[in-house]
Amino acid sequence: MGVRRFGRVNWLGTATLARREIARFLAVWQQTLLAPLMTAALFLTVFALAFGGADRAAVMGVPYLNFIGPGILMMTVIQNAFANTSSSIVIAKVQGNIVDTLMPPLSASEILLGYLAGALARSLMVAMVIGLVMGVALGQGIAHPLWALCFVALGAILLGGLGILAAIWANKFDQMAAITNFIVTPLSFLSGTFYSADVLPPFFHTLTHWNPVFYLIDGARYGILGVSDADPVRGLFVCSGVTFAVLALAWSWLKSGFRMKP
């Protein structure tokens, strides 16, 4: 997977891998940047039409459309972070050119960092575009910019790491699609994106608080609106712990070459 350099980091190789990942999604910006914006706009439009008086309806003291805005933003961010790393690795495995990533003198840590840099860059661009449009359309500012940025970045890294794990495990596109449809999408939608967790029955309320994506969306909501279901500090610790565990496992799999070597 790489060569030992006694503590030295191959920054040139890591930066090259990161640039490749960024160039890969920028080459199809209509799919990676414009499409998420259209999806977010459709969500807002559908809910505005469905509820009719959404401007008068309030959740946690804010208009409903403003309430779901941060959730839609974060949901889109994490889905794109997951898609960026997972698609890159799976396509390389299926086409047989994964060796182009494994053969250069890159350690497991450097490969992990390069892939995550691409996911983070794509997520931040998506968040910026959607945030600007929502700010204009809903007249919504940002209550706590640093909190919002922290949770967006943490969500991108967490789901980017999960995308790496999923892509390492999957050897075919249908296996990857199964993970996306049955794990990532349910975690995203059942995480308080469109509702407050406080309105759920006790069992589902407890279950929601075991979902790390809930804390990502709730943290983004706190950063943008200044309101949240859970303590944002606790959410930060939960998401950081889960992210550390995911990245540690991804590093271990990359280091051992698990399901990566042709």
Which sign does the torsion angle of CA 207, 77, 154, 246 carry? positive
Residue 44 pLDDT: 87
Please report, for the chain, the start and end positions of each structural domain, with discontinuous segments joined by +.
11-256
Beta bridge partners of 58: 63
The length of the chain in residues reads 262
What is the structure's pLDDT at 56?
A: 54
Residue 49's pLDDT is what?
Answer: 81
Q: Report the C-alpha gap between 94 and 141 in whole angstroms.
A: 44
pTM of the entire predicted model: 0.91
Round to whole Å and give the CA distance between 166 and 132.
Answer: 31
Positions in the chain whose pLDDT score sits under 50:
1-6, 54
Residues 224, 216: Cα–Cα separation, whole Å: 12
pLDDT of res. 55 = 53
Closest to 251 measured CA to CA, from 136, 110, 149: 110
**Local structure of 183: helix, strand or coil:** helix
Are 188 and 107 within 8 A, CB to CB? Answer: no
